[in-house]
């Protein structure tokens, strides 16, 4: 049975929303418990609890991208969206910088690989979105373990 290597990208927004939601929920409980006789504290506590609950629910719904490979194929999953590519078809990769990093894959001829859109749009995309907190060094180590070389960005041959 082939061993699967997996890398989950960190989702900072998920952690922020969860921590904020739980903090607001605790603050709501404290607001009502400290002075339950005044109607303004009860209303404020109720509003804080509703806002905290909304943040907690939304935070739990955020999904982080997961990349994995085994001896035969590379897989990328983000919620219900999934891409599988045979490892032998991938020639190189590059990590696109920016607020939300992305992974671009190239075929053996150097052309960008095209993937279906994430949100059921008609266009195809040539990159797979990661998260802003994804360390490019971890992606490089993961791709090196898969045996996929980085794309040479220089225009001259050495």
Per the prediction, the chain carries an average pLDDT of 85
% helix / strand / coil in the chain, to the nearest 5? 40, 25, 35
**pLDDT in the model for residue 55:** 94
Confidence band, pLDDT 50/70/90 cuts, at residue 158: very low
Domain residue limits, the chain: 11-61, 66-146
Per-residue model confidence (pLDDT) at position 1: 44
pLDDT reported for residue 153:
56
C-alpha angle 85-93-107 in degrees, rounded to nearest 5: 55
pLDDT mean over 108-116 = 85
- Residue 3 per-residue DSSP state: P
- pLDDT at position 123, please? 67
Mean per-residue pLDDT, 9-20: 89
130/127 Cα distance (integer angstroms): 9
Average pLDDT of 70-99? 87
Q: What predicted TM-score, i.e. pTM, was given to this entire model? A: 0.74
Three-class SS of residue 86?
A: strand
């Amino acid at each position: 049975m082939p061993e699967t290597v997996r890398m989950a990208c960190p989702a900072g927004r998920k952690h922020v929303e969860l921590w904020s939601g739980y903090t607001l929920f605790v603050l709501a409980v404290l607001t009502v418990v400290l002075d339950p006789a005044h109607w303004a504290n009860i209303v404020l506590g109720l509003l804080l609890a509703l806002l905290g609950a909304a943040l907690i629910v939304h935070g739990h719904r955020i999904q982080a991208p997961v990349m994995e490979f085994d001896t035969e194929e590379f897989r990328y999953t983000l919620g219900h969206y999934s891409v599988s590519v045979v490892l032998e078809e991938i020639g190189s990769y590059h990590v696109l910088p920016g607020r939300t990093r992305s992974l671009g894959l190239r075929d053996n001829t150097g052309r960008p690989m095209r993937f279906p859109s994430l949100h059921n749009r008609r266009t195809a995309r040539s990159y797979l979105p990661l998260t802003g907190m994804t360390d490019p060094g971890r992606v490089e180590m993961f791709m090196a373990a898969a045996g996929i070389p980085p794309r040479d960005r220089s225009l001259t041959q050495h």
